[in-house]
Amino acid sequence: MNIAIVGYGGMGKMVAQAAQEKGLTISAIIDPVAKEATHKKVDSNALKGVDVAIDFTHPSAVLENIRVYCDTKTNAVVGTTGWYDRLPEVKQMVQKSGIGFLWGSNFSVGVNIYFRIVENAAKLVNKAEQYDVWGFEIHHHTKSDSPSGTAKSLSDILIKNISRKKKAVYEMLNRKIAKDEFHFASVRGGPVNFEHTIGFDSAADCLTLKHAARNRQGYAEGAVLAALWLGKKKGYFELDDFMKGLLGE
């Protein structure tokens, strides 16, 4: 399989390493500033002969990148976060173009196991109304969005499975939180921080579920596995489609 790595920062470099270990051919490294880049911009020339593009760029660039993937009929795995308000538009573009497209807030296999653990815990807590809910995350100081896509995915899981909670609040609170809300706080700092914690809290005790990544390796390996899974498939896919194939129902 020939891949293009779009965005050659910390994640892009880890994706390159994981791709080489899996025997994939890196046909292009696309980045406007990286000295290792073979191309400066995403276009038909850079994507020539590419089976799947793996995109870890910036929310300000990703929509235009997706337009190019659609125009050039290039399958794409997108791990860039912070642009999800444009998902309906992207879904329509992908379906019209007929490419294979997979996006996800977090391709780490460990994180997706964590999602399933949180989901099952939330279903139990739904039956125990004495428990309140909260979330906390810390990420490295170079992360460009807050809350993270992973925090939003966790919030969606909690809202879907705990009927008394209808809304996540991510910003600073200067008021009493409503009963149908929960607070999901974010901290940014340090060079290597990737951690999420969900708390189920009662007057008697507190249950916490935490995932802490040691580095970007799990995210990069998951993105490469996602590219292999996507292959020549056509259609619009989300992370759960890939993880169901990998982990089962």
Rounded Cα distance, 84 and 52, in Å:
21
| pTM attached to this predicted model | 0.80
pLDDT 10s digits, 66-84: 999 999 999 999 999 888 8
**Beta carbons within 8 Å of 99's beta carbon, 6+ residues apart:** 69, 70, 73, 74, 75, 76, 234
Taking the CA atoms of 126, 131, 132 and 136 in sequence, report the sign of the dihedral they define. negative
Q: Count how many residues are written for the chain.
A: 249
Quote the domain boundaries for residue 95.
2-107+216-247
Please give the positions annotated as active site: 139, 143
Looking at the fold, whether 103 and 220 belong to one and the same domain comes out as yes
Count how many domains the chain has.
2
Read off the CATH number of the domain in which 67 is found: 3.40.50.720
Assess whether pLDDT exceeds 70 at residue 27: yes
DSSP three-state, residue 38: coil
Rounded to a whole number, what is the distance in angstroms from the first to the last CA of the chain?
Answer: 27
pLDDT 10s digits, 43-64: 999 999 999 999 999 989 999 9
Looking at the fold, whether 167 and 207 belong to one and the same domain comes out as yes
Looking at the fold, whether 220 and 97 belong to one and the same domain comes out as yes
Read off the CATH number of the domain in which 183 is found: 3.30.360.10
- Proportion of the chain in helix, strand, coil states, percent, rounded to 5: 35, 25, 40
Q: Is 99 exposed, middle or buried (0-12, 13-18, 19+ CB in 10 A)?
A: buried
* The pair of three-digit structure tokens given for residue 9, joined into one six-digit string: 């920062």
Looking at the fold, whether 103 and 115 belong to one and the same domain comes out as no
Looking at the fold, whether 178 and 222 belong to one and the same domain comes out as no
pLDDT 10s digits, 181-238: 999 999 999 998 899 999 999 999 999 999 999 988 999 999 999 999 999 999 999 9
Looking at the fold, whether 44 and 118 belong to one and the same domain comes out as no
Looking at the fold, whether 87 and 158 belong to one and the same domain comes out as no
Looking at the fold, whether 48 and 67 belong to one and the same domain comes out as yes
Looking at the fold, whether 22 and 42 belong to one and the same domain comes out as yes
- Confidence band of 247 (pLDDT split at 50, 70, 90): confident
Rounded Cα distance, 50 and 115, in Å:
32
Looking at the fold, whether 193 and 118 belong to one and the same domain comes out as yes
Looking at the fold, whether 176 and 201 belong to one and the same domain comes out as yes
Looking at the fold, whether 186 and 174 belong to one and the same domain comes out as yes
